[in-house]
């Protein structure tokens, strides 16, 4: 779900632009570090591939079909940092050239799909690949889509776009259905690719530990749940932002950044602690 | 195809085309921020924003109708949510949502319709966007339609071989056939990336793209940006 | 005395005993001896999969097999790789893979920039070469919008901009309609470089080259005057 401009309230898009910009810089540095030269054209071509693969319809029942979203597939093939970068490139092109998603809302869309969505499409694969490969890939696809969709929905509701109870449940059901579909499509696509050349799947093995991945996964779930909980009481926020109080605006932006930063920092420290204890 | 039109537009030679991409990108951001923070009750302001865009489109010698048609691509999404808002009794806000998303889309189109991809990526780069990201954007755009056409040809080939037997109508069969298509498309893309890398090495690539220097920022660019800033501020604060 | 005496400078390419095995175990080249005089043009014939393209990828060190390769008197090695890549210009079969930069001008300037020219000099050289191949009108166009013939001309310009002494052309006229093909052949004939032309097309070989070698299963099984080789191997469509 690409959010266009005009839907998010200023504190929401402002916060997410402020969070996403340094995150993208970090991801780009990491991708550059893990990437040999020959992967620069590969990243670009894989971005174009995801665009094109979305044209291929997967029938799921009489009269209905879905298509690949691709965040999890990219993460599994290229590794998380490179996959994030490719998704950012795709989102930027969609926003400017294809009118799919807004320019001010680019930070939000990048956060939902390129950062959280790719992380959610990588962590389950990394955590459970050993237990059941197909299960892990399915979970990666499904979790990736549901994460992006729930974050977008939460941000819209925090911004004051009203969702009556029925509509809310209907959207959540829809998200669940598309998440299951993405899981199934990702599994089928990965199998088809592996049949042609097993070396293509696997990507670079990261140095980070599984414990760190588990903590990151917890953080991600917390961010998603937190966004949904915060959006459950949007009316007060909406009224405040519409009055355009400068103090309130900056307070909320700072609060938002600080909150996100706190979650990330806590999880990072926790992860370091666990991995140090393991290796000791 | 959609992007062919935008590419053709962006190669024009109007006064707006000649402005520095950095000035245009900054003006776009100012416009979007002003628009986004305008309360839905200020309907006169929305009319003024629309007039501003129409003037700019005229200056750029771009067809208003074509611009509006492409900006309308956002409407299915925004209409859905506008409808929900309208349902909940806030019709003014609903109107505001649709107007804001439509005008924002139009403004973004004005940027890409007067600035080739290399222009706005160079602007982003001069503002310290990561070089790696810029390269990936350029490569995605370069191969987007090459690979999409390949996908299209493969779909046609698959459809023309689809029999009428019961087996081929089964959903599970078609599902795995679609997965097979994705697999082959992936394989072709991967091989294409290898081919591109060979071609790069053959022309002396040594791991670093050498950037070309951007043209200097001129007084006329500064004037253009100031005019946009003044216009947006006036609309936002006075109407 | 060394086993292989150094080639005289008038030899553009001198190859002895070249072998290459792909990582999957396929023996693609099995003892190739090949030479090309300065200013000479030679056609490479052979069935699909006979090793022609693999051979061509060795000429500028994209693949490295066993055996000795000398380009314009320089032995191919890690230290000479950059020099050799500027001497051997390869025009690949798929122009879409060759033209990867966002605009025609930038694409042609890519090679000179890698050679260390200043951006201004690289652009000047790119403009000159584009004029030479008749594409001066398309400097700011995106490669995607060009016709197949135009793409091929730009790809050739991109290679000429590196000022090579040898041109390697892999199936230069496939996918071109007859008039476009004719114009391209005229252009290629006017270029003074030594040429290695990989092709299935006997007509093209007759117009562009004087000598031909025939590849079969990774070996050169026939060599001689181009017309004589075409007749010996029945290498024509009808």
For A208, which DSSP code?
S
Whether pLDDT at A245 is above 50:
no
Query: Within an 8 Å CB–CB cutoff, is residue B189 touching chain C?
Result: no
Query: In this predicted model, what pLDDT tens digit does every residue of C119-129 receive, in sequence order?
Result: 899 999 999 99
Number of independent structural domains in chain C: 1
Residue C147 covered by a domain: yes
Of A129-138, A201-210, B3-12, C120-129, the range with the highest mean pLDDT is: C120-129
- Please give the average per-residue pLDDT across A201-226, as a whole number: 75
Contact B212 C119 (CB under 8 A): yes
Min Cα–Cα distance to chain C from B160, Å: 23
Parallel/antiparallel/unpaired status of strands C166-170 and C194-198: parallel
* Listed range (A88-92, B162-166, B198-202) with the worst mean pLDDT: B162-166
Q: Is residue C6 part of a domain?
A: no
Angle between helices A133-158 and A10-34 (to 10 degrees): 150
Q: DSSP alpha helices (H): ranges in C9-71?
A: 52-58
Backbone angles phi, psi at C167, to 5 degrees: -110, 130
CB C107 within 8 A of CB C130: no
Domains in chain A, CATH or no CATH each = 10-279 (1.10.1760.20)
Q: Are strands C74-75 and C88-91 parallel, antiparallel or unpaired?
A: unpaired
User: Quick check: C197 pLDDT over 80?
Assistant: yes
Q: What integer best gives the mean pLDDT of chain A?
A: 82
Instruction: Write the pLDDT tens digit of every residue in C149-158.
Output: 999 999 999 9
pLDDT in tens, B121-147: 989 988 999 989 999 999 999 999 899
Compute CA distances B29 → A109, B36, B63, B88, B203, whole Å.
Answer: 17, 10, 22, 31, 39
Residue position matching structure tokens 């798929």: C94
Lowest-pLDDT choice from A13-22, B158-167, C79-88: B158-167
Confidence check: pLDDT of B112 > 50: yes
Stretch B75-99: mean pLDDT, rounded?
86
What is the Cβ-side half-sphere exposure of residue C115, based on CA atoms within 13 angstroms? 25
Tokens coding C135: 């594409």
CATH number for the domain spanning C160: value is 3.40.50.300
Determine contact, residues A84/A27, Cβ cutoff 8 Å: yes
Asked if residue C14 has pLDDT above 90, the reply is yes
A141 and A185 in contact (C-beta within 8 Å)? Answer: yes
- The mean pLDDT value for A237-262 works out to 55
Nearest Cβ partner for A32 among B132, B144, B147: B132
Residues of B in contact with A37 (CB under 8 A): 197, 205, 207
pLDDT digits (tens, 9 = 90+) for B149-199: 999 898 888 878 776 555 556 778 888 888 999 999 999 999 999 899 999
Residue A280: pLDDT band with limits 50, 70, 90 = very low
C4 within domain boundaries: no
**CA atoms within a 13 Å half-sphere pointing along the CA-CB vector of B159:** 8
**Inside any domain, residue C238:** no
Over residues A192-197, mean pLDDT: 90
Residue found by looking up tokens 């995150």 in the block:
A23
Of B168 and A91, the structure prediction assigns the larger pLDDT to: A91
* pLDDT bucket at A236, cuts 50 / 70 / 90: very low
Rg (chain C; Cα; Å): 18
| Mean pLDDT confidence for A18-44 | 87
Alpha-carbon distance C38 to nearest alpha carbon in chain B (angstroms): 21
Q: What's the rounded mean pLDDT across residues C229-238?
A: 87
Kindly list the domain boundaries of chain B, sorted by start residue.
2-126+216-238, 131-202
**Distances in whole angstroms, Cα of residue B104 to Cα of each of A1, B35, B123:** 17, 8, 20
DSSP B4-57: HHHHHHHT--SHHHHS-HHHHHHHHHHHHHHHHHS-TT-HHHHHHHHHHHHHHH
For chain A, percent of residues with pLDDT exceeding 70: 78
C141 inside domain: yes
Quickly state the pLDDT bin for B68 (edges 50, 70, 90).
very high
Phi, psi of C151 (to 5 degrees): -60, -45
Average pLDDT over residues B8-16: 90
Q: Tell if the CB–CB gap between A5 and B197 is shorter than 8 Å.
A: no
Band the pLDDT of A249: cuts 50, 70, 90: low
Chain B interface includes A57 (CB < 8 A): yes
Q: Please name the member of B28, B174, B196 whose beta carbon is closest to the beta carbon of A41.
A: B196
Question: CA separation (Å) from C74 to A138, B188, C83, C166?
Answer: 55, 36, 9, 13
Chain A interface, mutation test: which of B140, B148, B170, most A Cβ atoms within 10 Å?
B140
Q: Is the pLDDT of residue A200 over 50?
A: yes
Residues paired with residue C37 on neighbouring β-strands, in sequence order? C11
pLDDT at position A259 is: 64
User: Which residue from C minimizes the CA distance to B193?
Assistant: C97
Work out the pLDDT band at A213, boundaries 50, 70, 90: confident
| Interface with B, mutate which of A11, A31, A42, A52 (most B CBs under 10 A) | A52
pLDDT of residue A268: 62
Residue C89 lies in a domain: yes
Closest CA to A184 of B183, B158, B179: B179
Model pLDDT, residue C2 = 47
pLDDT at A64: 75
- Name the DSSP letter for residue C22: -
Average pLDDT of the residues in A164-185: 88
Residue A276 has pLDDT above 80, yes or no: no
């Amino acid at each position: 779900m690409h959010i266009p401009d005009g839907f998010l309230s200023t504190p929401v898009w402002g916060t997410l632009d402020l969070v996403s910009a340094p995150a993208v810089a970090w991801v780009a540095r990491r991708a550059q570090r893990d990437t040999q030269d020959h992967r620069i054209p590969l990243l670009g071509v894989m971005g174009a591939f995801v665009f094109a693969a979305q044209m291929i319809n997967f029938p799921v029942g009489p009269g209905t079909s879905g298509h690949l979203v691709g965040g999890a597939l990219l993460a599994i093939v290229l590794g998380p940092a490179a996959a994030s970068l490719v998704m950012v490139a795709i989102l930027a092109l969609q926003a400017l050239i294809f009118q799919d998603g807004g320019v001010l809302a680019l930070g939000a869309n990048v956060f939902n799909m390129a950062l959280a969505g790719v992380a959610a499409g990588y962590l389950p694969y990394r955590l459970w690949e050993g237990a059941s490969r197909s299960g892990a890939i399915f979970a990666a696809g499904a979790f990736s889509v549901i994460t992006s969709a729930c974050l977008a929905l939460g941000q819209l509701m925090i911004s004051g776009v009203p969702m009556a109870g029925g509509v809310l449940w209907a959207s959540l059901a829809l998200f669940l259905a598309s998440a299951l579909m993405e899981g199934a499509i990702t599994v089928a696509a990965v199998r088809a690719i592996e049949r042609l050349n097993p070396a293509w799947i696997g990507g670079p093995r990261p140095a980070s530990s599984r414990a760190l991945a588990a903590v990151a996964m917890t953080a991600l779930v917390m961010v998603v749940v937190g966004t949904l909980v915060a959006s459950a009481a949007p009316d007060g926020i909406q009224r405040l932002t519409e009055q355009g109080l400068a103090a309130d605006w900056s307070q909320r932006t700072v609060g938002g950044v600080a909150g996100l930063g706190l979650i990330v920092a806590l999880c990072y420290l926790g992860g370091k602690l666990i991995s140090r204890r393991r290796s000791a | 195809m959609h992007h062919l039109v935008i590419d053709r537009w962006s190669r024009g030679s109007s006064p707006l085309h000649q402005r520095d991409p950095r000035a245009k990108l900054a003006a776009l951001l100012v416009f979007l921020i002003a628009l986004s923070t305008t309360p839905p009750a200020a309907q006169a302001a929305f009319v003024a924003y629309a007039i501003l865009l129409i003037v700019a489109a005229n200056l750029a010698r771009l067809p208003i109708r074509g611009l509006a048609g492409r900006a309308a691509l956002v409407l299915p999404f925004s209409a859905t949510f506008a409808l929900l808002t309208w349902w909940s009794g806030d019709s003014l806000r609903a109107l505001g949502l649709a107007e804001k998303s439509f005008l924002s889309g139009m403004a973004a189109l004005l940027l890409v319709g007067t600035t080739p991809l290399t222009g706005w990526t160079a602007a982003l780069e001069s503002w310290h966007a990561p070089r790696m990201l810029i390269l990936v954007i350029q490569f995605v755009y370069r191969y987007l339609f090459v690979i999409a056409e390949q996908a299209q040809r493969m779909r046609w080939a698959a459809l023309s071989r689809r029999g009428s037997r019961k087996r081929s109508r089964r959903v599970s069969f078609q599902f795995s056939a679609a997965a097979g298509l994705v697999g082959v498309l992936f394989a072709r893309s991967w091989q294409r990336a290898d081919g591109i890398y060979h071609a790069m090495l053959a022309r002396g690539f040594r791991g670093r793209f050498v950037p070309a220097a951007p043209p200097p920022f001129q007084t006329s660019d500064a004037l253009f940006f100031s005019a946009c800033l003044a216009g947006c501020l006036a609309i936002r604060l006075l109407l | 005395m060394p086993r292989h005496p150094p080639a005289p400078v008038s030899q553009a390419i001198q190859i002895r005993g070249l072998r290459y095995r792909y990582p999957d175990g396929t023996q693609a080249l099995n003892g190739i001896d090949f030479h090309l005089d300065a200013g000479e043009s030679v056609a490479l014939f052979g069935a699909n999969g006979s090793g022609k393209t693999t051979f061509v990828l060795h000429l500028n060190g994209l693949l490295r097999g066993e055996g000795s390769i000398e380009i314009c008197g320089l032995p191919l090695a890690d230290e000479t790789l950059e020099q050799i890549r500027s001497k051997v210009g390869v025009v690949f079969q798929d122009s879409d893979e060759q033209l990867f930069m966002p605009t025609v001008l930038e694409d042609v300037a890519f090679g000179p920039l890698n050679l260390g020219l200043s951006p201004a000099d690289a652009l000047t050289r790119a403009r000159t070469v584009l004029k030479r191949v008749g594409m001066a009108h398309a400097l700011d166009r995106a490669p995607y919008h060009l016709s197949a013939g135009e793409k091929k001309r730009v790809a050739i310009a991109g290679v000429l901009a590196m000022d090579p002494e040898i041109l390697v052309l892999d199936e230069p006229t496939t996918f071109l309609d007859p008039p476009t093909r004719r114009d391209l052949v005229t252009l290629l004939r006017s270029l003074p470089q030594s040429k290695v032309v990989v092709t299935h097309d006997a007509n093209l070989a007759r117009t562009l080259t004087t000598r031909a070698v025939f590849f079969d299963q990774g070996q050169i099984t026939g060599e001689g005057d181009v017309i004589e080789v075409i007749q010996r191997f029945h290498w024509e469509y009808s």
